[in-house]
């Protein structure tokens, strides 16, 4: 049979691969089999249950050739008749064991007689106790010819169990399911419609390929001309269902400019996050199991280089970088440093006194945009007084805007300010009325010191 042939081929190649690579984690496959009364319905030359039993028996036999694979069988709807409407009619008939248990599964399959209803949700809940508590690749293959009949929500339960790492995204094989109801099963896991016996056999082959074959990817990071020139970026493969991180890689290209090959688990649905500034997200990657996949992500970059001429009295001067037109902080970049950004426009808020706002700084592919600001001057207040005061910037129209407050207990205050016109407003702590406020205008020049004496004109 096709299933047996594929598994034997995989097994023959698997031994050689195992010698060259590190040992793969154990894979545990739990078959969750529908044995409700409807499984007795005629299907081509037989009935649904007989076909499922026959193909599962052959599949389990074929899996014997794998040293690192364990199988188990849970059945629902087989212990009580429909008249009882038992919504807890599910049982782990053959548990996982380190030893080969294919004979036990085959014998149990022979004994099962379809009888009851379809408690899919409760059966899924119970699988949480079926898998041993270790770091194996846990897989569920649900075979059913009907929908949940006990009012539960199998999709929510499946998602919760995936988030708790009980099992990876399940496989669901629908036998004779009306297309209008497929959505109710596809949200449980990866859904396959077995419209006929041959398709059912092929689906089992496909699932085995996805579960046990090696899958690799290469990521090409493209520039604006779709050339794979970008590299050295962190790439995060995120589980598209649970949101958890599955892999972190720092992108690498060899001397010929070719991206390297990465092994990933094809059972997990992925979003790929390329950690540029800002990040690029490729959602729902189309990974073909058992093959090499090339993922192309457009991520053209250029640089912003922030520079201040001359020494900076600010210490390490920083700039808040935002995407053009956005209020959200994207990055805080230090002056004197270079940082790569995706091509586009950015707004900068430079943390000088007063702050400098630059809008629409352009980042071009493969180029560095140098942002330069003049060195500040300094305001020096040599007076040793106690009081309350502020510094304001004054524009050409005479409008003032607050820059900073002076310390209440000041002693020869020195403040670094960008070149421009300013106003100092100050009242001594000992002054008994607002009318004793001193107001002085002054000018700051780049690299120069301006002395202002309070109450001393």
Give the domain-ending residue among 212, 247, 277: 212
Query: Could you tell me if 73 and 172 lie in one domain?
Result: yes
Report whether pLDDT(17) > 80.
no
Residue span of the structural domain in which 314 resides: 301-373
Whether 431 is in a domain gets the answer: yes
Q: Report yes or no: 163 and 174 within 8 Å, Cβ to Cβ.
A: no
Final residue of a domain: which of 373, 391, 412?
373
Whether residue 225 is found in the same domain as residue 258: yes
Whether 223 and 241 share a structural domain: yes
Q: What is the mean pLDDT of the segment spanning 107-130?
A: 96
Using left for φ > 0, alpha for ψ between -120 and 50, and beta otherwise, residue 201 falls in alpha
pLDDT one-digit tens code per residue, 257-305: 999 999 999 989 999 999 999 999 999 999 998 899 999 999 999 999 9
Same domain for 171 and 95: yes
Position 457 in a domain: no
The SS3 call for residue 143 is: strand
Is 208 in the same domain as 233? no
255 with 311, same domain? no
Domain edge (last residue) among 373, 389, 422: 373
- Rounded to whole angstroms, how far apart are CA atoms 143 and 129? 19
Q: What is the pTM of this model?
A: 0.81
DSSP summary character for residue 179: G
Residue 383 sits in a domain whose CATH number is 2.60.40
> Do 308 and 381 have their domain in common?
no
Tens of pLDDT, residue by residue over 28-74, are: 999 999 999 999 999 999 999 999 999 999 999 888 887 789 999 99
Task: Give domain status of residue 12, yes or no.
Answer: yes
Per-residue burial over 35-55, b if 16 or more Cβ lie within 10 Å, else e, is bbbbbbeebeeeebbebbbeb
- Say if 249 falls within a structural domain: yes
Give me the pLDDT at residue 23, please: 64
- Find all residues with CB under 8 Å of 157, minimum gap 6, and list them: 121, 124, 125
Which CATH number is 155's domain given? 3.40.50.410
Co-location of 173 and 29 in the same domain: yes
Residue with the bigger pLDDT between 13 and 178: it is: 178
Domains in the chain, number: 4
Task: Report, as an integer, the average pLDDT of 175-183.
Answer: 87
CA neighbor of 420 nearest in space, from 349, 353, 358, 359: 353
Q: Would 456 be classed as within a structural domain?
A: no
- Would you say the C-alpha torsion 117, 118, 122, 124 has a positive or negative sign? positive
Banded model confidence at residue 174, pLDDT cuts 50, 70, 90: very high
Asked if residue 402 and residue 274 are part of one domain, the reply reads no
Kindly report the CATH number assigned to the domain that includes residue 307.
Answer: 2.60.40.1120
Q: In this predicted model, what pLDDT tens digit does every residue of 382-392 receive, in sequence order?
A: 877 788 999 99
Question: Is 317 inside any structural domain?
Answer: yes
| 136 falls within a domain | yes
Q: Are strands 292-298 and 215-222 parallel, antiparallel or unpaired?
A: parallel
pLDDT over 70 (residue 27)? yes
Structural domain includes residue 226: yes
Q: Are residues 328 and 356 in the same domain?
A: yes
86 has a pLDDT exceeding 70: yes
What mean pLDDT comes out for the span 240-253? 94
Instruction: Tell me the C-alpha to C-alpha distance, in Å, between residue 200 and each of 26, 54, 141, 339, 435.
Output: 26, 11, 13, 54, 93
pLDDT recorded at residue 100: 87
Please check whether residues 167 and 34 belong to one and the same domain: yes
Asked whether the predicted pLDDT for residue 4 surpasses 80, the reply is: no
Let me know whether 26 and 143 are in one domain. Answer: yes
Q: What is the mean pLDDT of the chain?
A: 90
């Amino acid at each position: 049979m096709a299933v047996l042939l594929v598994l034997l081929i995989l097994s023959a190649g698997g031994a050689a691969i195992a010698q060259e690579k590190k040992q793969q984690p154990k894979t545990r496959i739990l078959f969750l089999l529908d044995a409700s009364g409807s499984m007795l319905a005629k299907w081509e030359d037989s009935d649904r249950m007989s076909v499922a039993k026959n193909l599962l028996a052959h599949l389990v036999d074929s899996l014997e050739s794998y040293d690192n694979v364990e199988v188990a069988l849970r059945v629902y709807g087989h212990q009580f008749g429909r008249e009882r409407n038992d919504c807890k009619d599910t049982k782990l008939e053959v548990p996982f064991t380190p030893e080969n248990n294919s004979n036990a599964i085959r014998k149990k399959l022979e004994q099962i007689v379809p009888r009851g209803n379809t408690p899919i949700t409760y059966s899924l809940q119970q699988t949480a106790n079926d898998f041993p508590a270790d770091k194996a690749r846990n897989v569920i293959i649900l075979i059913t010819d009907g929908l949940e009949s006990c009012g539960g929500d199998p999709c929510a339960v499946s998602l919760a169990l995936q988030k708790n790492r009980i099992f990876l995204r399940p496989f669901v094989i629908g036998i004779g399911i009306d297309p209008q109801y497929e959505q109710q099963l596809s949200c449980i896991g990866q859904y396959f419609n077995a419209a006929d016996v041959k398709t059912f056999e092929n689906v089992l082959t496909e699932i085995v390929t996805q579960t046990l074959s090696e899958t690799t990817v290469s990521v090409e990071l493209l520039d604006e001309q779709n050339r794979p020139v970008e590299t050295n970026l962190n790439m995060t493969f995120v589980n598209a269902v649970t949101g958890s991180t599955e892999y972190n890689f720092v992108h690498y290209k060899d001397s010929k400019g070719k991206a390297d090959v990465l092994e990933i688990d094809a059972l997990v649905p992925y979003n790929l996050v390329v950690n540029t500034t800002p990040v690029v997200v490729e959602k729902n990657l189309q990974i073909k199991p058992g093959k090499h996949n090339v993922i192309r992500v457009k991520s053209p970059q250029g640089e912003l280089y922030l520079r201040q001429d001359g020494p900076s009295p600010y210490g390490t001067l920083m700039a808040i970088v935002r995407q053009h037109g956005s209020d959200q902080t994207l990055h805080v970049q230090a002056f004197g440093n270079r940082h790569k950004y995706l091509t586009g426009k950015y707004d900068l808020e430079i943390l000088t006194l007063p702050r400098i706002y630059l809008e629409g700084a352009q980042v071009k592919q493969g180029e560095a945009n140098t942002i330069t600001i003049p060195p500040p001057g300094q305001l020096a207040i040599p007076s040793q007084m106690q009081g309350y005061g502020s510094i304001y910037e004054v524009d050409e129209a005479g409008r003032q805007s607050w820059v900073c407050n002076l310390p209440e207990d000041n002693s020869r205050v020195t403040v670094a300010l960008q070149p421009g016109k300013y106003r100092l407003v100050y009242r001594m702590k000992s002054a008994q009325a607002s009318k004793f406020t001193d107001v002085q205008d002054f000018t700051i020049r780049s690299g120069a010191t301006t002395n202002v004496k309070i109450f001393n004109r």
